[in-house]
Structure 1
Amino acid sequence: MFPTLFRLSDLKVVMLLCVAVELCSCSSKNSSVSVLELSNDEETAYWIGNNKPVPDSDSLFYLDDPAPLFRKEFVVDGDLKSAWVQITAAGYYHANINGQRVEKNMLDPAWTDFSKRIYYSEYDITDLLDAKENCIGVTLGNGFYNPLPLKMWGRRNLRDVMHTGRPVFIGKIVLEYTNGETEEIGTDETWKYADGPLLKNNVYLGEVYDARKEVEGWDVPGFDDSSWNNAVRSDGPGGKLQKAFFPPIRVTERIRPEKIYSSEKGIWMVDLGVNFAGTFRIKLTGEPGDSVVFRFGERIYPDGTLNPMTTVCGQIKKEGVGGPGAPVVAWQTDTYILGHQKEAWYQPEFTFHTFRYMEIKGLKKQPGVDEVEGLALNTNVASSSHFSCSSELLNSIQDATQRTFLANLISVQSDCPAREKFGYGGDLNATSEAYIYNFDMQSFYRKTIYDWVDAMNDSVFVDTAPYVGIQYCGLSWESAFLTTQYYLYLYYNDLELVREMYEFNKKWMEKVARIHPENWVDSGLGDHESLVPVPVELTGTSHYLLCAEIMQKFASVMSDKEGEKQYQKLAAQIKQRLKQEFWDKPVTQEINRQTLFSTLLYYNVVPEEETEAAVDSLLAALENAPSHHFTTGIFGTKYILEALSKYVSPERVFQIVNSTEYPGWGFMIANGATTLWETWKESDNIYSNCHPMFGSVSEWFYRWLGGIQPDPEFPGFRKFTLAPGVPENMDFVNSGYTSPFGRIQSDWKKDENKVVYSFEIPRETSAVVKLKKEPAQSISIIKEGDKSFVSGSVSGLSSGQFELTEGKYRVTVQ
């Protein structure tokens, strides 16, 4: 088996060694892991490739570069008990055994800094093997390891900053026989390779597939590979091998077209009804050599033609922007060239797009709706949570939010899954709680933490993980590394991660203190996409405050008394500075007052006795806004949803969210959105139509309409709050969240002159219930399956605030 070269249980030790030298220098780009070793140190597998040189000029990268095919025949010599394959690549791969695909995984392995960390997968292949002769075939794609030298925004070439190289892979087959013997077939120079029919593949621009170059039978035994070359042993990318502990990327939904029509002569348009990230499958007919070209977009123009502009890579939209050899417009496109078979099914392998609309050129007849399907791709996180309500608009917003979230889970949580595909920290800070309410994110976010460990350095804040060279957004982006750890602790009670990362986190806090020695964040990006300017001093310093408070909590968990005092003092100093600058002084600068007052309330900066004045100021800011709606950006939206619900009422928020006026989520839905926009304003050219940052509204659905809220004193929902809001113009809410202890259900419905609540509380947990109750109203409770239960035994029932233990309850407020 592969050795676990970087076990989770060993991470703390590795961290301690790393931070003793330099923050984040967890492995050198010159290090190499070229051999898989057994426990007896016998060499069994190597990184191998085709040893094709990297082009010596940028323009040459755009020429045909066929994805290599690798094959190895082997014999099952005896009665087989079990067999499995362990495999990974720098780039992408897919593997076949005897002509059958080994895995359902797509775009494997997950994107990482391949010079530091590489995840491998393990598959049971017992049922794929024949009794004697067998063959494994592997195809390699470029992925993020061999990107094109596209100059995104005219200046950012990923090859200048990322560890890149030609795709290579490593793996082995393990055969276990009934007599107890084990045989291993690893990657080495005895494997053979040749060019395949996939002429080009890129995660941004798409792929070109020439079926005329298909090699029939190449991945089954008995194929004549005498003209093929021997694989070339490689040092590999250098990263440590680690077994993947998080879900793989899979096809999670198959989407049939809503309609297919001709936009102009010779062009067919496929409308899949919803915007999503992924790929497609289509039946093609034609003559050998016919080229069918596909383009993709989130929108169409009024005349029904494709609008691909919101998904163009890095805003490369005119001559000279993308660099030598780059397309004039870097839109998403795939090309299929028919071979000797006049009928074929085509599905791209090593790319993914974001689209609702697909333009097809070169197909002589209109495809049928049963001959095309969209294939939604995302990391296959479990989605057992649920929210729905009587407002169809809110249900549409929730559906669009979930679709946006999943579209941006392609092994990293991205900001947009077409134009950039990068794992920005700001979006994590804005939406990680919303993601957790909707999906099981524990293992995915652990992977995210390790991506940040590999991305950061000791002197400047970086914006993304994996690192892509961007470093202007500042602390509010890189701090996602720490805040995400806290949410793993709060929602999953992930104490192991707190212990693993604690020393590393302390060194990171020292780095922050060096960069911002006055406890004041004065550089970086503020409330991104706020309709009114917000200084970074407000949002950035608030995130610094959050980090200090998190470290105070982590120090307590670690029984670090001195650290707890240190971070408590730091948090108090930061909070006092925020109060002095943004509360005590008159506001004279242009600033989004919604973000200002909701931030101060969210972080408890305003003294308790002055909270009412801050709330009044927030309400006044709302009254002065267009349609009395939110004008906040990436962070302010999360803050105002919480602050307004906590200090005013969920009713006030509901009035805004349940409206189709601009600005707002309902405005997006009313204008045809099926995923969330990057901006409150509609964009048909610049901004992504599939961006998660305003998805914090889904967190509000669960927290304030369902009322399901974690208790920081009891992480992991051992004890939690149920405080459902009941707006005047809603009839019911159904909300369920799967905690580490089990299902939490919080439903309510109106029935004439009463509200009936249904609660489910998991075993070994308890909930503090907080219901809105007028003095003249009465409350009664029935516990399912417990005839001895009586309402009078519940302390505090008459006040509407009481505690319930495990079980299912029906609570009626009359």
Structure 2
Amino acid sequence: MPSILRSNQRTAICALLVFSLNLSAALLPVDLQCEGHSDPLAAPSEPRLSWRLSATEGERGQIQTAWQILVASRPELLEVEKADLWDSGKTKTDRSPQVNYAGKPLEAGQRCYWKVRTWNANGQVSNWSETARWEVALVNPSDWQGAVWIDDGKDNPTKDEDFYKTDPAPLMRETFELAKPIVRARLHVAGLGLCYPSLNGERLVDQVFDPQWTNFDERILYRTHDVTALLQEGANSLGLALGNGWYNPLPMRMWGRRNLREALPVGRPRAIACLIVEHSDGSKTTITTGPDWTTKEGPTLKNSIYLGEVHDARMAIADWDTPDYDASAWKPVRVRDDYPLEPLQPLIAPPVRLSEPFTSERVSSPSEGVYIVDFGRNFTGLPDMHFDVPAGTEITLRFGELLHKDGTLNPMSSVCGQIKRNVELEDGTVQSIGGPGAPEIAWQQDIYIAKGGGERYRPDFTFHGFRYMEITGLPYEPKPEDFMGLYMRSDLETKGQFASSNELLNEIQKVTLNSFITNVVTVQSDCPHRERFAYGGDIVATSEAFLMNYDMAGFYAKTVRDWTDAALPDGRLTDTAPFVGVDYCGVGWAMVHPLLLEQLHQHYGARLLIEENLPAAIRWLDAEADRRKNDLVVTGLGDHEAIGPRAAGPELTTPKFVHSARRIARLAEVVGWSEAAKRATRYAEESSTAWEASYLDRNTGRVGTGTQSAQTFALGFADTTERTQEQIFEYLLRDLTAPEDAPRLTTGIYGTRILLEQLSKRGRSDLAYDLAARESYPSWGHMLNNGATTLWENWEGSEGNFSNNHPMFGSVSAWFFRWLGGIQAAEDAVGFDRIYIRPQVVPELEWVNSSHESIRGLIVSNWTANSKGSEHEIVIPQNTIAIIELPAAPDAQVTESGLPIHQAEGLKVLPRESLNTLRIKALSGHYQFKVTE
């Protein structure tokens, strides 16, 4: 059949397949990675190394049987195949795509150069790979060479209302001399709060919103920068600009009761830095934060991650971070010895970056002097603006997702913590429900005071979730080109592509991805404005969709560690991580921790992460087991945002516990912890037995209240026999297809994910497709038809109480990949080495294109279909095995590249498990199937 690969898929395949004509059957290692990054500047002292395999086009069934790694202190040693740090020797491969460095002990700052070669199934050895490198991070407190935490010398207020007063963000600086030629320089820097470094007047613009949000008392992620090009012989200056970030939040009572300062480690913003400069004669110069640094108030008068910032450009200090600036009037910093260096760890997760700017679409004026800038999409980030106004002009910017019918800004769906009114206190005074000093309505707002003469403004120490920006105080009518939008997000690399012949599905995918990338500012948040918390339930609902669309290895490894760090003293895992005091959602939110551990092993082979974090999951399971009543889990949320009767109670929480216990048992088996596996299995069996006795009607298949949520939870989470599952599924189908506008779902964030999966798994992809392509309420199409550019918090939508940017219903994207395209990691996969390709050919679609760039290489499943049959183009990467399931009746004619299926190379036909599905075992390669009915 003619190729239906898109150009980007074809380019990736060619890059994987073509490398050397004289080694046609050998497997060349490519894309060498250390801790998931190319040539990282700050890797652990015992890092994990990985690579992908490339083979000649047309070769099928290539398997790596052994590898050899050489690691040297100088690249020239590798050129003559000498390894003074580690020579692994020829090592028999296992299923893990990652290798742990096992050479000589490494020191902080050490540079390591490495290359690898592999052997295939025929014993042929490949050429050596290209040389890659890594540098060892600062691992121990002594590696910081005397650097200490410093702040501006002020103390935080003792009264809540005083936190809302002017408190300029501090600047800090130090000058130093470099007397010798510079060969290499690395700046290691972290803040508590936000910290932006600069050298000789140049801000290090490749990062924003550092450090990433973690449980700061357990883990602080520092950044390492290559600053070689910014330094000079002679005088130099290192500057640090500090903001409040998550370390010094306002004492607002979110929802009238939750003060983040009571849950988070908090304090005055501070920073630590260590600059190490290497010279041509082999010597080093080290500059560290200490008592000789000086500080001064900067032009940002107020800054809050929720409320925004006030910036007075008239107070900007020109050239403050250059060596020629006279800082004699600056005051000394304060050294803080009350915070240890042990939590400092190198950032492995993707950094937060700003996207390329995009121009706003239109500017309207609903009333005199009020302008509304429409950026055309709901997004998370910053405005970048140009003004030409007199000095002292005060311009107020407010942000929101919606407009009122009269065209004015509606900021109410993005108000922090639903702080929207004042209350009268017992003494008769009136204050905001947000507490003393808090605004009556905690909307997102920036205030800019101009310096005059034409200027540009972009906020520094905050970000916003918005589509519309209201401007007041501007003395002229602006133009759309005066305003640019900048996405702010963790720099996740795209790994998945999906498209189909139904444009509605393509738009749903687009809006889902926009929801995803607007909720990853260091944590996967529920929304980018009102709360910004990493809720476990939202991640459970969408993690597989994220994993199919993006490289989530580093981001989700951080997420797992965040949950481990946030564990409560009794062992329970929290609803959010970092922990913000929310502790009522229960098992369904805490289960994100073991879920991600298993998914990261399936997708990336992250065994070490399991060994590191599984103890926390086991402690949690033990704690939850002890809290059961009659072996039932009686507390916690059920199917969040389901429609109709309240979807909660033991009928929903207990299956999630059973499912988590089974998962933890599997994880324990992976690392050989048999006793923990047996205990987890016992918990699952106890609770499963109790749940079935209490909620399952074996005669009808009805579960508890019989809601779609109850039925889907039983299918997706509970332990029941296949016969019982069939009854449960039939009961679900009757409910799903009963309404006049059937099929009609009533599920929340969990049940919706399970519903689409179970329908496809059980042969009813037609109904799953009808739900995905539905346009009336409740549906994704309903959201789009009502102007959504991001997913809503609930099916109905809202003009005030609910967020219009919540990714938790984004599980539909996983269904696109896993079932319409059919790309699935097997349950026992290790780094995607076992693959299922199960494309669902539904009559309403003419074609589907889907691909996923796994850690082992590109997986492709594209198909076209008509009344006569279907054609499938499938690519299986090297060093993997796939089971392909094609829709084909027993009498259908099936060919591969024009040959009868039994004659095709690299394939083995397996016994059928269902009448109309042909099962094929496939080795790696590029296949073209044609099914003629």
- TM-score, normalising length: structure 1: 0.93
- Structure-1 separation of matches of 2:367 and 2:554: 47
Is the 1:250–1:380 contact (alpha carbons within 8 Å) kept by the matching residues of 2? Answer: yes
Determine which of 486, 498, 507 is the counterpart of 2:619: 507
Counterpart code for 1:325 = G
CA change 1:511–1:787 in 2 (3 A) is closer
C-alpha deviation, 1:434, in angstroms: 1.2
Contact 2:151 2:336 in 1 (8 A): yes
Q: Secondary structure at the match of 2:179?
A: coil
| Superposed CA offset, 1:176-214 (max 9, x none) | 001000110000111111001000110000001000111
Over 3 Å counting, the alpha-carbon distance change for 1:611 and 1:540 in structure 2 is closer
Map 1:232-381 → 2, pairs under 5 A:
232-235=334-337, 237-238=339-340, 240-319=343-422, 320-339=432-451, 341-381=452-492
> Is 1:640 equivalent to 2:755 in the alignment?
yes
The aligned runs of 1:214-613 (5 Å cut-off) are: 214-235=316-337, 237-238=339-340, 240-319=343-422, 320-339=432-451, 341-459=452-570, 461-516=573-628, 518-532=630-644, 533-584=646-697, 591=705, 593-603=707-717, 605-613=719-727
Instruction: Decide whether the 8 Å contact of 2:374 with 2:467 is kept in 1.
Output: yes
Structure 1 position 795, deviation (Å): 2.5
Query: Using a 3 Å threshold, how does the CA distance of structure 1 residues 734 and 72 change in structure 2: closer, same or farther?
Result: same
- Mean Cα displacement is larger for which, 448-457 or 247-256? 247-256
Per-residue CA deviations over 1:202-232 (Å, capped at 9, x if unaligned) read: 0000001000111111111111111100111
Match of 2:184 among 79, 82, 85: 82
Deviations 1:559-579 (A, max 9, x none): 233333333333222222232
Quickly say closer, same or farther: Cα 1:304–1:515, change in 2 above 3 A.
same
Q: What's the secondary structure of 1:627's corresponding residue?
A: coil
Question: How many angstroms does 1:47 deviate by?
Answer: 0.3
1:143 corresponds to: 245
Structure 1: distance between partners of 2:724 and 2:394: 69
Query: What is the DSSP-based 3-state SS (H/G/I as helix, E as strand, rest coil) of the residue aligned with 2:887?
Result: coil
* CA–CA separation in structure 2 for the residues paired with 1:802 and 1:327: 64
Residues in 2 aligned to 1:509 and 1:793: alpha-carbon distance in whole angstroms? 43
Instruction: Report the equivalent of 2:285.
Output: 183
Q: 1:154 aligns with which of 243, 246, 256?
A: 256
Q: Taking structure 1 as reference, are residues 509 and 611 closer, same or farther at Cα in structure 2, changes over 3 Å only? A: closer
- Aligned pair in 2 of structure 1 residues 698, 358: CA closer, same or farther (>3 Å)? same
Query: What is the aligned partner in structure 1 of residue 928 from structure 2?
Result: 810
Select which of 732, 739, 746 maps to 1:618.
732
1:330 deviates by: 0.3
Q: 1:202 aligns with which of 304, 318, 322?
A: 304
Which of 672, 677, 683 is the matching residue for 2:798? 683
Change in CA separation of 1:253 and 1:750 when aligned onto 2, cut-off 3 Å: farther
- The equivalent position to 1:707 in structure 2, one of 812, 822, 826, is 822
For residues 90 and 543 of structure 1, what CA distance do their matches in structure 2 show? Answer: 36
The amino acid of 1:512's aligned partner reads: E
Question: Are the structure 2 counterparts of residues 6 and 118 from structure 1 closer, same or farther at C-alpha, using a change threshold of 3 Å?
Answer: farther
Q: 1:718 to 1:671 in 2, by over 3 A?
A: same
**Residues 260-285 of structure 1: CA deviation (Å, up to 9, x unaligned):** 22121111111111111111101011
- Which has the higher mean CA deviation after the structures are superposed, 164-173 or 73-82? 73-82
The alignment's C-alpha RMSD in Å is 2.5
2:656 touches 2:718 (CA, 8 Å); kept in 1?
A: no
Distance 1:39 1:285, change over 3 A: closer
Q: Secondary structure of 1:584's match?
A: coil
CA distance in structure 2 between the aligned counterparts of 1:535 and 1:37, rounded to whole angstroms: 45
Q: Which runs of 5+ in 2 are unaligned?
A: 1-39, 49-137, 423-431
Q: 1:206 to 1:796 in 2, by over 3 A?
A: same
Q: Please list every run of at least 4 consecutive aligned residues from structure 1 whose deviation after the TM superposition is greater than 6 angstroms.
A: 1-9, 36-42, 585-590, 786-789
**1:738-764: CA deviation from partner (whole Å, max 9, x where unpaired):** 212111111111256231111010001
Which has the higher mean CA deviation after the structures are superposed, 744-753 or 437-446? 744-753
Alignment partners' CA distance in 2, 1:502 and 1:455:
14
2: CA distance between counterparts of 1:45 and 1:634? 47
Unaligned runs of 5+ in 1: 10-35
- Residue 58 of structure 1 and its aligned partner are, at CA, apart by 0.8
Residue equivalent to 1:23: none
Q: What is the aligned partner in structure 2 of residue 21 from structure 1?
A: none
Letter of the structure 1 residue corresponding to residue 418 of structure 2:
Q
Output the CA distance in 2 between the equivalents of 1:658 and 1:59.
51
Shift in Å, 1:343 = 0.7
Taking a change above 3 Å as real, the CA distance of residues 506 and 793 of structure 1, as seen in their structure-2 partners, is closer
1:111 is matched with which residue? 213
Distance in 2, matches of 1:162 and 1:660, equals 43
CA drift of 1:384 comes to 2.2
1:517 Cα offset (Å): 5.5
Distance of aligned partners of 1:772 and 1:666 in 2 relative to their CA distance in 1, 3 Å threshold: same
- Identify the residue that residue 33 of structure 1 maps to in structure 2: none
Q: For residue 37 of structure 2, what is the aligned residue in structure 1?
A: none
Under a length normalisation based on structure 2, what TM-score does the superposition of the two structures give? 0.81
Letter in 1 for 2:190: T
Contact 1:782 1:789 (8 Å CA) reproduced: no
Offset, 1:497: 1.1
Distance in 2 (alpha carbons) for counterparts of 1:156 and 1:797 = 59
Q: Cα distance 1:252–1:542, how it changes in 2: closer, same or farther (>3 A)?
A: farther
Q: Secondary structure, in 3 states, of the residue corresponding to 1:618?
A: helix
Q: Look up the SS of the partner of 2:148 in the other structure.
A: strand
Which digits, 9 at most, give the CA deviation of each residue in 1:413-436, with x for residues without a partner?
111110000111111211111111
| Residues 593 and 399 (structure 1), Cα distance of their counterparts in 2 relative to 1, 3 Å cut | same
**Residues 1:7 and 1:234: Cα distance change in structure 2 (over 3 Å):** farther
1:18 aligns with none
Q: 1:625 to 1:200 in 2, by over 3 A?
A: farther
Q: Give SS of 1:771's match.
A: strand
Contact map agreement 2:414 2:529 (CA 8 A) in 1: yes
The 1:625–1:210 alpha-carbon spacing in structure 2 relative to 1, beyond 3 Å, is: farther
Q: Percent identity?
A: 37
1:530–1:592: 8 Å Cα contact kept in structure 2?
no
1:59-78 to structure 2, matched below 5 A, reads 59-78=161-180
After TM superposition, the structure 1 stretch with the greater mean CA deviation from structure 2, 233-242 or 707-716, is: 233-242
Distance (Å, rounded) in 1 between the aligned partners of 2:692 and 2:704: 18
Say if 1:39 and 1:45 are closer, same or farther in 2 by CA, change over 3 A.
closer
CA distance in 2: counterparts of 1:451 and 1:624, whole angstroms: 44
Report the counterpart of residue 22 of structure 1 in structure 2.
none
> What does residue 785 of structure 2 align with?
670
1:7 to partner: Cα distance: 8.2
Q: Which moved more, 1:527-536 or 1:321-330?
A: 527-536
**SS of structure 2 residue aligned to 1:599:** helix
3-state SS of the aligned residue for 1:375? strand
Q: Secondary structure at the match of 2:509?
A: helix
Q: Hey, what's the Cα distance between the residues in 1 that align with 2:497 and 2:250?
A: 40
Q: Which residue identity does 1:807 align to in structure 2?
A: G
- Are residues 717 and 4 of structure 1, via their aligned partners in 2, closer, same or farther at CA, if it must alter by over 3 Å? closer
SS in 2 for 1:447: helix
Report SS of the residue matched to 2:146.
Answer: strand
Q: Contact 1:530–1:633 (CA<8 Å) still a contact in 2? A: yes
**Count of residue correspondences:** 786
Q: Does 1:755 align with 2:870?
A: yes
The one of 870, 875, 881 equivalent to 1:766 is 881
